[in-house]
Amino acid sequence: MMSRPILGRVLRSGSPLYSYVYSDYPMPVGSYVYAEFSVLDRASGSKVGRRVIGVVSNSSYSPIIERPSIVDLRSESSQEYSVPSISIMSIYIVADITSDKPETPRYPLPPGTAIYPAPPEYLRILYELPEKGFIRIGSLSEYSGIEIRLRVNELSRHFLVTGATGSGKSNTVAIIADRLTRIGAPVMIFDVHGEYVGLQPEDGDSSRVRVYEASISPYKIPPKILASMIIRDPAATKQRRLLARALRILNREIGDTCSKGYGISLAVGEIYSKRSAAKRISEDLDEEPAQTPSSMYKKILVDIVRSISGSSKAYDSKVVESVIDKVDDFFETSPIDLEAPRVVDMIETGRIIVIDVSRLSDDQKAWVLKLYVDELLDHLKMTVASGRRSLPVVFIVEEAPLFLPADSSTPAKESLQRFAREGRKFGGVLGIVSQRPRSLDPNVASQLQNFIFLKLVQEEDRRAVMNIADSLDDSLAQILPSLPKGRAIVMGEWIGRFPVLVDIDQHTGKRRGVSPDLYGLWSSGSRASEEIVEEKFSIEGGWVL
Ligand SMILES: Nc1ncnc2c1ncn2[C@@H]1O[C@H](COP(=O)(O)OP(=O)(O)OP(=O)(O)O)[C@@H](O)[C@H]1O
Ligand SMILES: [Mg+2]
């Protein structure tokens, strides 16, 4: 028997996985507890002892008497009015640790069983894993001395980090990315809000972070895809066909010029000057002459669109003008860079590769994501097919609901589904970050088998995560609304057989996404915002940006 204080006693057990415990005082939600009890062994007819570890997942506190009398409540004899109370707590039974090898609990705790604080040495049996092959993500809830580690080889089952806004998702991503890169992994973060741009690794070695501002290279995107990016109306098939044809012609011409030893931008310049000299590029009076490679590219493209329509009766002038308008719009509003690197050129051992897509529109983000994910999977597959050893890559998608809504389609959805389905065989690890698990596409969700569940308040989200992780029991999921910042239920093969409540380490490197100190910024009279406004005005007072 334990010599520690009894925290409470079992009132009733609903199953081997959960019990209600009563006590004079409530224990904090998230506390680990221990119990020992006997069960009858039918074979021998004798009683055998069992030992289990559980965690407090919910608690209530109520008066024992139904209704205190009004006379009592008004009594002024004492300042402190005490009502005899009882606390009822739900305990999720995590594991049976009777033998050296922890097992899934099979016996419900008998009513009256004493509940104790969990001794650290038992928790270590359950959770502590060797260092080799693992990365640390934090410590056991309420036991800062017990390290919690993730088994790196199980990452190929992909992972999901989910929690309400501000619950600590991006901090968790920073910890995982930082520690995986320290063992040599390339980790790419598709950074929707540009919050990892200033990320500093924990060890201060800033060469481990590489930031790419995502831009679109019209030359490097398959023409059919670029045409769909530019002409989004699904019904406008004729326009898209015309544009794709023009893109194909132009890109072939660039390719031919490049093969003579030119770089892409120079090749475009060369083609542009040839066409201008031959007066093939129409000079628009209200337009400035093209100066950058991308504006030259656009002008040549428009020229080709016009010449295709001139030589074919298939496209009337309305179609042609509409294509040109959309091309103009696209080149005006999108970050275009002919030399933008491909995603496979970004892969580097031991680097956090931040892909900052914050300047793109939501639709462009989805297209760029599609391109990257397709390209990455193709690259991994081809490496394996050619018999070379592939370098596994972790690709983390922030704000996944933007790309993976359950009930509508986005340009990236199918590609992410394919990556989730096929990636693991080829060394592609997908990390999905979402604050709304209820709206996550079930096809991708069903491929995710490692989980970090941070605070979730909405009932629908709790139901959703129980659907996604079928081994997440209702009685443990009750804890989700009361999780403090940075504390999570971690589940899946990367942690072992039993769910664990973890205080995720706080990432010490800077990250832009952390909540701004509004009070501090305002009260210190910061003038930063005025300076930015001034920069945007020209001397005449007009907007120049
Ligand atoms: N494990 C932790 N320990 C201590 N503080 C934390 C922890 N995790 C997050 N925080 C703090 O909580 C705040 C929000 O964290 P974070 O940006 O990771 O949340 P988020 O879930 O990504 O939010 P959002 O949905 O808005 O992107 C930050 O100020 C961060 O420093
Ligand atoms: Mg975040």
- Asked if residues 216 and 335 have their Cβ atoms less than 8 Å apart, the reply is yes
Q: How far apart are the CA of 445 and the centre of ligand 2, in A? A: 19
Q: How far apart are the CA of 408 and the centre of ligand 1, in A? A: 29
Q: Give bridge partners of residue 93 from the DSSP assignment.
A: 54
Best probe residue, ligand 1, of 171, 190, 458 (max atoms within 8 Å of C-beta): 171
Are residues 376 and 500 part of one domain? yes
Alpha carbon 9 to its chain's center: 41
Asked if residue 165 has its Cβ within 6 Å of ligand 1, the reply is yes
Q: Is residue 205 part of a domain?
A: yes
Q: How far apart are the CA of 411 and the centre of ligand 2, in A? A: 23
Strand boundaries in 97-206, DSSP class E: 114-117, 134-140, 143-151, 159-162, 187-191
- Tell me the C-alpha distance between 401 and 404, whole Å: 5
Give me the domain span that covers residue 69.
Answer: 8-127
Tally of residues, the chain: 545
- Closest to 35 measured CA to CA, from 122, 100, 103: 122
Q: Which of these three, 276, 307, 333, is where a domain ends?
A: 333
Q: Is residue 1 part of a domain?
A: no
Q: Which of these three, 311, 333, 355, is where a domain ends?
A: 333
SS3 22: strand
Are residues 504 and 395 part of one domain? yes
Alpha carbon 423 to its chain's center: 17
Are residues 419 and 489 part of one domain? yes
Q: How far apart are the CA of 507 and the centre of ligand 1, in A? A: 9
pLDDT value of position 73: 62
Are residues 144 and 122 part of one domain? no
Are residues 452 and 357 part of one domain? yes
Asked if residue 295 has its Cβ within 6 Å of ligand 1, the reply is no
Asked if residue 163 has its Cβ within 6 Å of ligand 1, the reply is yes
Question: How many CB atoms within 10 Å of residue 504?
Answer: 24
Ligand 1 atom, smallest distance to 504 CA = 1
- Tell me the C-alpha distance between 359 and 355, whole Å: 11
Q: Is residue 15 part of a domain?
A: yes
Asked if residue 171 has its Cβ within 6 Å of ligand 1, the reply is yes
Instruction: With a cut of 50, list the residues of the chain below it in pLDDT.
Output: 530-545
Q: Is residue 389 part of a domain?
A: yes
- Asked if residues 176 and 319 have their Cβ atoms less than 8 Å apart, the reply is no
Q: How far apart are the CA of 168 and the centre of ligand 2, in A? A: 7
SS3 524: coil
Question: How many structural domains compose the chain?
Answer: 3
pLDDT value of position 532: 46
Are residues 326 and 292 part of one domain? yes
pLDDT value of position 537: 41
Q: Is residue 17 part of a domain?
A: yes
Q: Whose CA is nearest to atom 7 of ligand 1?
A: 486
Question: Which ligand approaches the C-alpha of residue 506 most closely?
Answer: 1
Q: Is residue 115 part of a domain?
A: yes
Q: Whose CA is nearest to atom 15 of ligand 1?
A: 168
Distances (CA, A) of 485 to 29, 97, 163: 14, 30, 10
- Closest to 419 measured CA to CA, from 401, 452, 392: 392
Q: How far apart are the CA of 486 and the centre of ligand 1, in A? A: 7
Are residues 462 and 374 part of one domain? yes
Are residues 201 and 72 part of one domain? no
- Tell me the C-alpha distance between 454 and 502, whole Å: 10
Asked if residue 514 has its Cβ within 6 Å of ligand 1, the reply is yes
Q: Whose CA is nearest to atom 24 of ligand 1?
A: 165
Q: Is residue 534 part of a domain?
A: no
pLDDT value of position 77: 60
Query: Hey, what are 163's tokens?
Result: 């929690």
CATH of the domain at 174: 3.40.50.300
Q: How far apart are the CA of 356 and the centre of ligand 2, in A? A: 14
In eight-state DSSP terms, residue 339 is T
pLDDT value of position 2: 64
pLDDT value of position 544: 40
Residue 256's H or E segment, with its range, is helix 237-258
Q: Is residue 83 part of a domain?
A: yes
Asked if residue 516 has its Cβ within 6 Å of ligand 1, the reply is no
Ligand 1 atom, smallest distance to 505 CA = 1
Q: Which of these three, 333, 354, 377, is where a domain ends?
A: 333
pLDDT value of position 545: 39
Query: Hey, what are 379's tokens?
Result: 């690259």
pLDDT value of position 512: 64
Are residues 362 and 315 part of one domain? no
- Tell me the C-alpha distance between 432 and 160, whole Å: 5
Q: How far apart are the CA of 524 and the centre of ligand 2, in A? A: 26
Are residues 150 and 297 part of one domain? no
* CB under 5 Å of ion ligand 2: residues: 169-170
Are residues 139 and 122 part of one domain? no
Q: How far apart are the CA of 82 and the centre of ligand 2, in A? A: 44
Asked if residue 423 has its Cβ within 6 Å of ligand 1, the reply is no
Are residues 153 and 52 part of one domain? no
